[in-house]
Amino acid sequence: MIITGFLAVLGVMTILYITKLGQSLYHYFEGLPSVHMLVIGFVTDFFDSLGIGSFAPTASWYRHTKMVNDRIIPGTMLVGHTLPVVTMAFIFIQRVEVDPLTLVFMILAAALGAHVGADIVSGLSETKVQFGMGFALIITAIIMILGTDAIQAMPASGDMIGLDGAKLIVAVVGNFVLGALMSLGVGLYAPCMALVYLLGMDQLAAFPIMMGSCAFLMPIGSIKFIKHGAFDSRAAVGLALGGVPAVVIAATFISELPMEILTWLVIGVISYTAFKMLRAALPKESF
């Protein structure tokens, strides 16, 4: 019942987003997306479904090809990736078993952190946050490697699908912080994977939590960009149309992965994100 209610709310938010986007396209139709735009949506959302994230690759792609004006890249990505991310959330929330209270509390905490917690982290140095998160993710990746079947130097991840007591409090507070850090450009996916792992939950449980967290935020944020026309409609539609089928394919791929392979996939995502954060924190002249 809790999951059904949550999905119903997400469905209503998505309908509002689609309605606003449809109205915008009706009044300011700029043409159909190119094949290149569809390819960008397919590739970036496929890897987003694996937990790698879509915003950084999309922004890099746009800047390299000069397809979208830099000023409207953020709005274009948010509007375009919303439908694929919502699709991910619906698929993983229904396909992956997670305790309803743990799922909903962590998702709401991330949403609250993104809206309210931004004021808390706005005074923090972005460089310090990047260094801190980068090193934290490296430590988590090392712990995960030591717990793999190949090494077995530490206990592997747990198989819990839910949390209670102190662990649930830590999870909620942790996801609140991660939601707040999104205002500094820190992606939620990899840190959420690390949080779930360290609390002893099944790695696969991170997917509905992290995707549900982002899906809950994106429709409302997209409506703001649509209202102000701060997005490239052709590129955004290309992301959506190319991204949704990619999500369906990737979700099937992930669900059929053996747990050991999934573990190494998560380790790779966390390590890659840690490298990106540490590199961003270092002076540009260092490279």
Dihedral (C-alpha) 147, 54, 64, 39: value to the nearest 10 degrees? 110
What are the respective helix, strand and coil percentages of the chain, to the nearest 5? Answer: 80, 0, 20
Q: What is the DSSP letter of 67?
A: -
pLDDT tens-digit profile of 16-72? 999 999 999 988 888 899 999 999 999 999 988 887 778 878 888 898 888 998 888
| Measured CA angle at 248 (ends 12, 161), to 5 deg | 75
Tokens coding 221 = 């944020």
Distance CA 70, CA 104 (A): 35
* Tens-place pLDDT, residues 208-228: 998 998 898 888 888 888 988
Which tokens in the block code for residue 48? 């987003």
Asked whether residue 245 carries a pLDDT value surpassing 80, the answer given is: yes
Distance in angstroms (rounded) separating the CA atoms of residues 211 and 88: 6
Q: What pLDDT is attached to residue 287? A: 47
pLDDT of residue 95: 86
The pTM is what?
Answer: 0.79
Residue pair 215/72 in contact (Cβ under 8 Å)? The answer is: no
